[in-house]
Amino acid sequence: MKNKSFVRIVAIVLAVLMLLSVVLIALDFLVGNDASARVTQSQIDTLRATRREYERRRRDVESTINSFEFERATEIAKKEVLDRRIEITGAEIENINEIISYYSTLIREKEYDVFLASVREEEQLAAYRARVRDMEENGVITYLEIIFDSTSFSDLLARIDFIGDIMRADEQAYLDLIQARDETEAAQEALEETRDSLADEQILLEEREAELHEQLEEAQELIERISDDLDASRELHAKYQADSDRILREINSAEAELERQRERDRQERLRQQQARQQRNTGSGNTGGGGTVVGTGELMRPVSGGRISSPFGTRRHPVFGNMRFHGGIDFAVGHGSSVFAADSGTVVISTYNASFGNYIVLSHGNGVNTLYAHLSARHVSVGASVSRGQVIGLVGSTGISTGPHLHFEVHVNGSRVNPATRLP
């Protein structure tokens, strides 16, 4: 009797320890993951659908590059096509990295599922072993005692039914054990499948990164060929200068329109404030029409990176002649994040053969910032951005001699030296 009591106590202690381990693992899982929701396969499928669209666009660009028309195109037109291909490859890399991130989270979740299934299996196995051990020690005698201790025929039938219930419970315990073992194996298989999918994505990522490196080299070789061709270099220089002047006019025009919008916002706020005062309900600021004014203090638009080309007159690395450089260049790696130097409103987000992908932010009080040669743009015209928000990625689109960020600051319609405005 004492032996049975000891076994029960040990079983209870083991059950408590197992429960505590489950709680600890659950806490570790929640801390290590975003607590909002579990990753679902449908989220990954959506990302893969986006990747299929990138692959379609990639095939279109490759078809253009392999066409006869591409061979006959000007160097500028060829660079635009190469920029499109680089941009698509960069987008694919972002997409793959996002899928990898999802799979990493999914693996943690499935590892947790395997752990829970293993715990359930161990619990069922422990219960089944305890029952089998009890049957070995007392099973036959107990059943005989139940039968021979009956006081009447009806009592005997009732006791036989009771024995049947015990046998069915024993059978169910066995079935529960088998089910728990099947659940563990299924969870383990799902985990292995997810790990295999992650490995496939990592292989694809390596392939795309290698392709991107080759594409960047091809674009760089084209720029070098242009610099060696005096006529092409002069043509490109003229276009670059014209584009630069035109972009400045467009910025000033967009800034003027945005200032008119801000004035309309101010007038609307004033009207609403006066209306509230007339209703004796107090006064306040309604926030206006959504334009954003910055703090007036600019931050570096990239993390790290030296200034490879300063503001002012310099010898252009492609054209070879002396010209005015309207901004500063930060030498940072391809795909590095580009941050909004201050809060503001996006007034331009587009592609240009000279500046490549570029973005212009209006910060109010006549201050604008320009970010050029991007590999990707993450904001669109009209969007409000916060100081330090990622608005794009560093690239080498347009007339560029390698991955870098061309950064300009405009005050009241004129370019100023960004270095004097940065910390």
Judge if 47 and 161 occupy the same domain.
yes
Judge if 103 and 216 occupy the same domain.
yes
What digits encode the pLDDT tens for the residues 281-321? 443 333 344 567 888 899 999 998 889 889 887 665 555 55
Judge if 93 and 145 occupy the same domain.
yes
The reported pLDDT for the residue numbered 73 is: 82
Judge if 221 and 237 occupy the same domain.
no
Cβ pair 131, 177 in contact under 8 A: no
Cβ pair 90, 213 in contact under 8 A: no
Amino acid 222 reads L
Judge if 93 and 242 occupy the same domain.
no
Quote the tokens at residue 315: 């010898």
The reported pLDDT for the residue numbered 25 is: 45
Strands 390-394, 367-377: pairing is antiparallel
DSSP string, 334-363: TT-EEE-SSSEEEEEEEEETTTEEEEEEEE
CATH code where residue 154 lies: 1.10.287
The reported pLDDT for the residue numbered 230 is: 62
For residue 26, is it within any domain? Answer: no
Cβ pair 38, 109 in contact under 8 A: yes
The pTM (predicted TM-score) of the whole model is 0.67
For residue 19, is it within any domain? Answer: no
Judge if 177 and 236 occupy the same domain.
no
Beta partners for residue 368, in sequence order:
362, 410
For residue 8, is it within any domain? Answer: no
What digits encode the pLDDT tens for the residues 344-382? 999 999 998 889 999 999 998 889 999 999 999 999 998
Cβ pair 413, 353 in contact under 8 A: no
What digits encode the pLDDT tens for the residues 209-224? 999 999 988 888 888 7
Provide the 10 A C-beta neighbour count for residue 308.
15
Cβ pair 156, 147 in contact under 8 A: yes
Judge if 150 and 263 occupy the same domain.
no
Cβ pair 52, 95 in contact under 8 A: no
Rounded distance between C-alpha atoms, residue 351 and residue 243, angstroms: 11
Beta partners for residue 328, in sequence order:
407
Q: Which residues fall within 8 angstroms of residue 211, CB to CB, at 6 or more apart?
A: 89
Unique residue bearing structure tokens 């951005």: 385
The reported pLDDT for the residue numbered 134 is: 64
Quote the tokens at residue 418: 């960004």
Instruction: Give how many domains the chain has, as a whole number.
Output: 2
Q: How far is CA 34 from the centre of its chain?
A: 13
DSSP string, 237-270: HHHHHHHHHHHHHHHHHHHHHHHHHHHHHHHHHH
Choose the final residue of a domain: 198, 225, 252.
225
Judge if 257 and 215 occupy the same domain.
no
Cβ pair 198, 100 in contact under 8 A: yes
Judge if 209 and 277 occupy the same domain.
no
Of 286, 247, 292, nearest to 268 (Cα)? 286
For residue 10, is it within any domain? Answer: no
Which residue range forms the structural domain that includes residue 38?
33-225
Of 123, 111, 131, 113, nearest to 18 (Cα)? 123
Rounded distance between C-alpha atoms, residue 210 and residue 204, angstroms: 10
With a cut of 50, list the residues of the chain below it in pLDDT: 1-4, 6-7, 9-11, 13-27, 29-37, 141, 281-289
> Longest C-alpha distance within the chain, in Å?
118
For residue 334, is it within any domain? Answer: yes
Judge if 246 and 206 occupy the same domain.
no
- Helix, coil or strand: residue 415: strand
Strands 414-416, 405-411: pairing is antiparallel
Rounded distance between C-alpha atoms, residue 181 and residue 423, angstroms: 62
- The helix-helix angle for 75-148 and 153-228 (nearest 10°) equals 170
Q: Which residues fall within 8 angstroms of residue 189, CB to CB, at 6 or more apart?
A: none
Rounded distance between C-alpha atoms, residue 147 and residue 141, angstroms: 10
Cα 265 to Cα 69, 276, 361: the distances in Å are: 50, 16, 19
CATH code where residue 245 lies: 2.70.70.10
Dihedral angle at the C-alpha atoms of 42, 45, 50, 52, nearest 10 degrees?
-160
Rounded distance between C-alpha atoms, residue 406 and residue 391, angstroms: 14
- Helix, coil or strand: residue 235: helix
Choose the final residue of a domain: 195, 225, 255.
225
